[in-house]
Structure 1
Amino acid sequence: MIRFDQVVKRFGDHTVLDRLDLRVRRGERVTLIGPSGSGKTTILRLLMTLERVTEGTIHVAGEPFSHMPGAKGDLVPADEKYVRAHRQRIGMVFQQFNLFPNMKVLENVTEAPIHVLGLGKDEAVERARGLLDLVGLADKEGAHPTRLSGGQQQRVAIARALAMRPDVLLLDEVTSALDPELVAGVLDVLRDIAAGTDITMLCVTHEMGFARDVSDQVMMFDRGKILESGSPERLFEDPEHERTRSFLGAVL
């Protein structure tokens, strides 16, 4: 579903991703762990087209994503029209909830399906209500986000991302802005989504218990490279790399 081929991302003289090769299969749940500044969130930002690759290519669902077919049959950097069309495959839940404060919860979830996907209002509302029920907020559809707790706002943000029926759901430290007592509820919702759907998930988190429960594969990042990857059981119980052992020793 996701393929990075020799991807380099630089900001000035600073190389954030260094010849990255990454593969995520359709329906797989992959968690990226590692110290801050290791390049994990940059991967998500490239998939959200918030950043462009410096070198290399990204494919999503077997199609070029960072690039598009050129007139000579080669690949050229994707233009904005191509990016907009293909970005719809990707849903993302950020650290901050980014809900529209002037809209009620139901409107927050229906806005993009109606105006981006062209869904009829009745269909969009039916879809939104189903998702609000999934995240445990069926009784909050008429509330404004400012009247909700942080955990409830993050669950609305998850429903909003899923309303676009993405092929891939990206999760960027989705509990980092929450009070500790609200974290468990959001993680439970994501566990239910992982267990009850076949959506591909790529997650950046420092919640190692969540990574252990949900992931098919965990990748350890450091300095823009994958140091090692494997099943949660293998990587958490018997890491091969000393850097992985020291990182896990600090966070577990």
Structure 2
Amino acid sequence: MIVFDGVEKRFGDHVVLRDLDFTVAAGEHVCLIGPSGSGKTTILRLLMTLEKVDAGTIRVGGQCLSHMERKGALVPADEKHCREVRRRIGMVFQQFNLFPNMTVRGNLIEAPTRVLGLSADEANARAVELLELVGLAEKIDAHPTQLSGGQQQRVAIARALAMRPDVLLLDEVTSALDPELVAGVLNLLRDLGSSTDITFLCVTHEMGFARDFSDRVLMFDAGQVIEDAPPSKLFTEPDHQRTKDFLHAVIDRT
């Protein structure tokens, strides 16, 4: 479902991702772990086309996201091409990013009506269904400012699902939450993972979640994958000393 092939991303002289190769199969749950600044969030930003690659290619569902074909050659993708491929991808951000001037209902129906072309009735029915799924049906006419952080993050997850994505990207979705709200959001994601065939790519510092949720865990350091293994192996018998040091530091701190 996701293929990074020789991807490089630079900001000035700083190389954030270096000759990066990895794949995520359809329906797979993959968590990215590693120290801050190792390039994990940049991967999600490239998939959302918030950043552009400096070298290499990215494919989503067999379609090239970073480039398009023109006269038999691959050239950097234009915005129209990116928008078409990106429709298959949903993202939940750290800071919720809900539209404060809209109700919860408005947040959930805006993109499906404008981008997917759903009727208002269809979008509204989908919004009700998703809010029931995340346990917030009674908040459909509330504004984001009337919700707790955990509730806002649940709405953000529902909004991403409203676009019926094949791929859902999660960027540290519990980092802005009070500790007592974290478990509820992570349990919701576990439920979604077990009840849908969505492909999940998650950046997280929640090692328990990565252990329970993932089919594979990728350890990043200095813009490269240094270890790729099932959680049962990576969290008990990692091969790389850098992985051992990182897990020791993170698990001891928590």
The two structures have a TM-score, normalised by structure 1, of 0.99
DSSP 3-state at the match of 1:32: strand
Q: Secondary structure at the match of 2:235?
A: helix
Counterpart Cα distance in 2 of 1:123 and 1:221: 41
- Aligned counterparts of 1:96 and 1:18: Cα–Cα separation in 2: 28
Residue in 1 that maps onto 2:5: 5
Corresponding residue for residue 54 of structure 1: 54
Match of 1:177, SS? coil
- Secondary structure (helix, strand or coil) at the match of 1:237 reads coil
1:166 corresponds to which residue?
165
Counterpart amino acid of residue 19 in structure 1: D
1:186-201 paired onto structure 2 within 5 Å: 186-201=185-200
Partner of 2:135: 136
Counterpart Cα distance in 1 of 2:210 and 2:219: 12
SS of residue in 2 equivalent to 1:18? strand
Q: Tell me the CA shift for residue 150 of structure 1.
A: 0.2
Query: Corresponding residue for 1:237?
Result: 236
Q: What is the aligned partner in structure 1 of residue 181 from structure 2?
A: 182
When the two structures are superposed, what TM-score results if normalisation uses the length of structure 2?
0.98
Aligned to 2:112: 113
Shift of 1:106: 1.0
The amino acid across from 2:207 in the alignment is: M
Q: In the alignment, does 2:19 pair up with 1:19?
A: yes
- Distance in structure 2 (CA, Å) of the matches to 1:9 and 1:220: 18
Q: Supply the distance in 2 between the matched residues of 1:104 and 1:251 (Cα, whole angstroms).
A: 38
Instruction: Report the Cα offset of residue 85 of structure 1.
Output: 1.2
Count of residues paired in the alignment = 251
Give the C-alpha shift of residue 119 in structure 1. 0.3
Give the AA of the match of 1:165.
Answer: R
Offset, 1:80: 1.0
1:64 counterpart residue number: 64
Unaligned runs of 5+ in 1: none
Give the partner amino acid of 1:207. Answer: E
Q: Deviations over 1:106-145 (max 9, x none)?
A: 1111110001111001110111111111111011101111
Percentage identity across aligned positions? 71
What are the ranges of 5 or more consecutive residues in structure 2 without an aligned counterpart?
none
State the AA in 2 paired with 1:57.
T
**How far apart are the structure 2 equivalents of 1:80 and 1:201?**
24
Displacement of 1:87: 1.1
Deviation, structure 1 residue 63: 1.1
RMSD: 0.6
Distance in 1 separating the partners of 2:184 and 2:32? 21
